[in-house]
Amino acid sequence: MIHLLRQFDPTTPPPETGGGVEQWTPRCSSSCFASTGRSLVAFLVDTLGLSSDHTCLIPAYVPEGVVQPLRMSGIRVDFYRVDHRLFADPERLSRQVEKDPSVRLVVLIHPFGFEQPVRPIRDMLSGRGIAILEDCAQALLSRTEDGTTLGQEGDFSLFSLNKFLPVPDGAVLQSHCRGTSVDCGQLARGPEGWRESILAYEEHLRLNHALLTSTSPDRRLLEETGEAYERYYSFVNRELGLSAPSDVTLDRLRRLAPGAMAEARRRNCALLYAGLKQTTFRFVYPQWDDRTVPMAVPVRVRPEERERIADRLFERNILLSTLVDKWNFIPPGRESAFPAESEFMASHLLVPVNEFLSSEEMEYMVATMNQI
């Protein structure tokens, strides 16, 4: 089955050139390599000395892994509106920070790996004592115009490895702000239950591989892999203290070749963008260029048709996912204040372009989508 769930194939031979985490820490003045992105969000709030007197602005379409640590660390959380591309609007954001002098931190997400313009927002916030955290969790392999990783414009940047790589954990926080070090040194292992959570994620990766190689739609496998994933997250959501990345991740990072992964994703993106007729599906990002290496490519369909389309594709062994569960933080009753977010949640489907999909599989998927 074609899908976007990370999977690890233990039979893959190690590449000649290993990865290592160093490639995601260029140009920064300090960094911290920990087990989860959420623990690093909590760590950043703590490092900046932020409390209930201060506010962090985040989008309302945002992962639990950002909201939860902010709320638990005691800082006030407020939401800014995004546009139809899920990007912040600098003018609107400017009015919001003018009205609220307690704002100290703004989180900007590069959605699905598509680069959100950070510079206009940085210029607008300059001199106001407000830091920017660039959330690059979905943009691990995307590049800026000068060829470096995203995340170099803000004061801080966050990467979470298991959104892209077949590893159970691992996340990096970088500081570009000379005045604030996020160096956390060598971290200790996680607390009780941590090893089991890593094993649960490994089970998730194994089941994803079984799903990938299954030649007929298998809802049972899909449920099982979802359960393993939940076991991992129920642990990491409770444990927001910093701990070291697992040995499995450290070992696998040396065996993965991110350059080759990015190249295969680019090829798959090129096939999708060249082949998909924009009738039933419309790209959320109409332009794609090869600096962008997406986690998945979001498309819009008519909300009332989404379930039927997804079911018909599932019968043809293609799984298009949605990202709503654990991402919908629109304050209840304020849906009309966040129209683009609500519309996106109701209409999107995520098209996989993962490196483990061959050109033939991509072509089959595109042709099938064109016939729906």
Ligand X SMILES: Cc1ncc(COP(=O)(O)O)c(C=O)c1O
What does the H/E/C string look like for 300-344? ECCHHHHHHHHHHHHHCCECCECCCCCCECCCCCCHHHCHHHHHH
Stretch 292-311 residues interacting with ligand X (CB under 6 A):
none
Total chain residues near ligand X (CB under 6 A): 13
Q: Which is nearer to ligand X, 19 or 69 (CB)?
A: 69
Stretch 200-219 residues interacting with ligand X (CB under 6 A):
none
Q: Which is nearer to ligand X, 63 or 166 (CB)?
A: 63
Tell me which of 171, 261, 345, 351 binds ligand X, using CB under 6 A. Answer: 171
Strand duo 30-34 + 55-59: pairing = unpaired
Q: Which is nearer to ligand X, 222 or 296 (CB)?
A: 296
**Binding characters for ligand X, 114-153, by CB under 6 A (x = yes):** ---------------------x-xx---------------
Q: How many alpha carbons lie under 13 Å from residue 355 in its C-beta half-sphere?
A: 19
Q: Which is nearer to ligand X, 65 or 258 (CB)?
A: 65
Q: Is 349 in the site for ligand X (CB under 6 A)?
A: no
Q: Tokens 């993962």 sit at which residue?
A: 354
Stretch 5-64 residues interacting with ligand X (CB under 6 A):
36-38, 63
Report in angstroms the alpha-carbon separations of 107 from 80, 140, 262.
10, 17, 25
Least separation in angstroms between CB 283 and ligand X: 20
Tell me which of 4, 48, 57, 66 binds ligand X, using CB under 6 A. Answer: 66
Least separation in angstroms between CB 339 and ligand X: 21
CA distance 283 to 298: 6
The C-alpha angle with vertex 64 and arms to 163 and 43, in degrees rounded to 5, equals: 85
- Residue 112: which of 294, 325, 342, 264 has the closest Cα? 294
Report in angstroms the alpha-carbon separations of 281 from 210, 313, 351, 369.
28, 13, 10, 8
Q: Tokens 């607008």 sit at which residue?
A: 124
Q: Which is nearer to ligand X, 109 or 357 (CB)?
A: 109
Tell me which of 47, 160, 197, 354 binds ligand X, using CB under 6 A. Answer: 160
Q: Which is nearer to ligand X, 7 or 160 (CB)?
A: 160
Q: How many alpha carbons lie under 13 Å from residue 295 in its C-beta half-sphere?
A: 27
Least separation in angstroms between CB 333 and ligand X: 25
Determine phi and psi for 317, rounding to 5 degrees. 70, 30
Residue ranges that bind ligand X, judged by CB under 6 A: 36-38, 63, 65-66, 109, 135, 137-138, 160, 163, 171
